[in-house]
Structure 1
């Protein structure tokens, strides 16, 4: 009987194992927990923000490598060459039709376009007033240089009627303070140390874009924002008047073939960093997927649209992620469990009853062997029957629900014993 049970169960077990093996072939392995991010200058806001990401991701066992660069345009090049996985860029420096291998993850904070100039210049009311001036447009291959060049160009300013230079933020600031520049453009967060230093300097003025709305109509990735009087420093009343600014957004972009799992855990930490209220941003305004110039990454779109999954609300991310990856196993599992559940109870009943029915072969053989025996032979058969009865009682253990069938066996055996006793008495 044991052999019969194994004959049924072993093929079922092998079928389950084979189904799970085949399902595993369609499951992607867990990605290597490493992210390489391109930022900008080590003195810039992109770099400082990436440091915050790195600290948070380290707590969930994700290693972050930071690659510095000259800015947005070089970051795009690094992404196209697959030297980095994720990069900061200034919104507007890349268009949907310029690359098919880069997708957007999120806008993370406002990046105002700042124009600082020496106060001892003649009153600067419009960008055209910068003609003939010495101006830093930002570092070559940076988003600052890209945007400031466009703003100057639509105002008729170029290298033929102004002295245009290209320096990073720190060099530009130092040259402005040392009277080596008349004005400089910066595109960076208001939290930047350089911005605060320039706002605090009484010899430096910040340009107010009177026609901010007109610029935003021309460049649809720009938004007019206001820096209100005293918001930087109420005690010292900085700035001393309301300033109209133009702002783009710092945008995170990713290689199209980068891991969805790492994108999701990365965006969770991005949200932790940027959800708080700040000088220009309302609480939970960032990160977002608004006003982005290039195609959105599908996983990022799902995350910002639907939030955490059911599993992520219950388990730590990596557990939820692995459970989600294993969902494909539900297909063979459910396919097999339905017939298995239908068959397991009959198989159980059969295995219990077999403990009882297996004795009937011996009982029947003894019954058939009684015909034509002498009295002495019948006495020997009676001893065999009594021994068999005792053996059945010792070896046959069944649940109470099957005791009726057990006692049927005992009753049948007692009938044969009675039959033998009658034959002995009649002889």
Structure 2
């Protein structure tokens, strides 16, 4: 066993050159391969207490189970969220945005953003006073109507419907007011408004309040199919009889409404490796569905608002990456990159390791063969008869070489070559001594 360890030591020492080569290779790979995804991000949501904020809070809790920290930033709504995503400071990396808002951006800005998919439907509700008769959108022209606050998704959705009916923003009647939310609900209930638009899930407390108020009615968009065909960011949704409140049977009959979709939108600061994590966490949050969305419907690659990111498209096609199905996200993301590192490393290492054997043999034999250079020189001089007059000096040099050779260490498998060198060295020394004796004899005879 000691001899085996001795040979192993020699082999390692002979191949120490491979250590800096491997270190340089691994360093280069780590330098050029993308770093692992961060374990934090910042998300713009919406107003405190709103549907966007509630979803984002549940998403944050789900992500925290993976050790991921999601910072939530309140905002004024979809338009504000888009502005934050496009801001140069990159303070916000992901946000909830209502479908259809992308049409308010110029093409260059829209190209800077991508979608992770639709998250849930957020219907557009038009509630009106019970005494007001509404058949078409144009019936709102002489009425007092709240169409949504500036920059909100409600205003964007209502204006899209007005434009489809030939009522552009610069032709809005004086009775139409740009506010929404709780303020609009209070004005509608108090009789200061005849109708008002709202956007939010069916479970939203404000929607529930309006749906159960005896003096209000939910408008029926009987031409919903036409709107859906012309405005593809709207879905036609049927609110079944009694869906909003069974006890009060609200609405009293099946009612057609239009619904944008809340979408997750990212900018260039969002690490692409986080896409599967966010979509899968959203799926977990939404797994039970809601009053309008069946379980398993969302998240979804539709609607195609902004371009769907490649990583999101891969998730919808194949599901979670293999390692993330069985390992925590942090470990799986690191392992993914180590595998990426391993492939080119193996490509280089295989021929490198194949070269180790021949190089090792060459280095060991070089330790032996370099002694033959002097022997061959003396041997040629012997044959040519050109050796120096003082052979004792050459004998002394060879005997010194013999002493040095005794200290040379080689693996057991190469010992035969070392012993052959000993034999050849002794042979040359003996030839020199024989020649030395002959010259001494010849000198005595002449004398």
TM-score normalised over the length of structure 1: 0.78
Structure 1 Cα separation of the partners of residues 80 and 419 of structure 2: 89
Judged with a 3 Å threshold, the aligned counterparts in structure 2 of structure 1 residues 174 and 354 are, in CA distance, closer, same or farther, namely: same
User: Deviation of residue 9 (structure 1)?
Assistant: 2.1
Alignment partner, residue 375 of structure 1: none
Q: 2:73 aligns with which of 67, 78, 82?
A: 67
User: Deviation of residue 277 (structure 1)?
Assistant: 2.9
Paired residues, what number?
368
SS of match in other structure, 1:252? strand
SS of match in other structure, 2:115? strand
Alignment partner, residue 43 of structure 1: 49
User: Deviation of residue 29 (structure 1)?
Assistant: 2.5
Structure 1 Cα separation of the partners of residues 298 and 230 of structure 2: 24
User: Deviation of residue 345 (structure 1)?
Assistant: 11
Alignment partner, residue 120 of structure 2: 109
Q: Which moved more, 1:153-162 or 1:295-304?
A: 153-162
Alignment partner, residue 294 of structure 2: 282
SS of match in other structure, 2:29? helix
Structure 2 Cα separation of the partners of residues 365 and 289 of structure 1: 79
Alignment partner, residue 22 of structure 2: 16
SS of match in other structure, 1:25? helix
Equivalence map 1:128-147=2 (5 Å)? 128-147=138-157
Alignment partner, residue 165 of structure 1: 177
Alignment partner, residue 83 of structure 2: 77
Structure 2 Cα separation of the partners of residues 256 and 338 of structure 1: 40
**Contact (CA 8 Å) 1:111, 1:187: kept in 2 or not?**
yes
Judged with a 3 Å threshold, the aligned counterparts in structure 2 of structure 1 residues 346 and 27 are, in CA distance, closer, same or farther, namely: closer
Alignment partner, residue 89 of structure 1: 97
User: Deviation of residue 230 (structure 1)?
Assistant: 1.8
Alignment partner, residue 265 of structure 1: 277
**Contact (CA 8 Å) 1:133, 1:162: kept in 2 or not?**
no
Structure 2 Cα separation of the partners of residues 166 and 246 of structure 1: 20
Structure 2 Cα separation of the partners of residues 333 and 212 of structure 1: 60
Alignment partner, residue 419 of structure 1: none
**Contact (CA 8 Å) 1:135, 1:162: kept in 2 or not?**
no
Alignment partner, residue 314 of structure 2: 302
Q: Which moved more, 1:141-150 or 1:226-235?
A: 226-235
Equivalence map 1:232-247=2 (5 Å)? 232-247=244-259
SS of match in other structure, 1:240? coil
Alignment partner, residue 129 of structure 2: 118
User: Deviation of residue 283 (structure 1)?
Assistant: 2.3
Structure 2 Cα separation of the partners of residues 139 and 113 of structure 1: 14
Q: Provide the aligned C-alpha RMSD in A.
A: 3.0
Structure 2 Cα separation of the partners of residues 84 and 217 of structure 1: 34
**Contact (CA 8 Å) 2:188, 2:195: kept in 1 or not?**
yes
**Is 1:210–2:218 an aligned residue pair?**
no
User: Deviation of residue 45 (structure 1)?
Assistant: 0.6
**Contact (CA 8 Å) 1:70, 1:140: kept in 2 or not?**
no
TM-score normalised over the length of structure 2: 0.74
Deviations 1:92-145 (A, max 9, x none): 111482522111111011121110011122x22222222221111111011110
User: Deviation of residue 365 (structure 1)?
Assistant: 6.6
User: Deviation of residue 152 (structure 1)?
Assistant: 2.7
**Contact (CA 8 Å) 1:110, 1:280: kept in 2 or not?**
yes
Q: Could you tell me which runs of 5 or more consecutive residues in structure 2 were left unpaired when the two chains were aligned.
A: 1-5, 365-408, 427-447
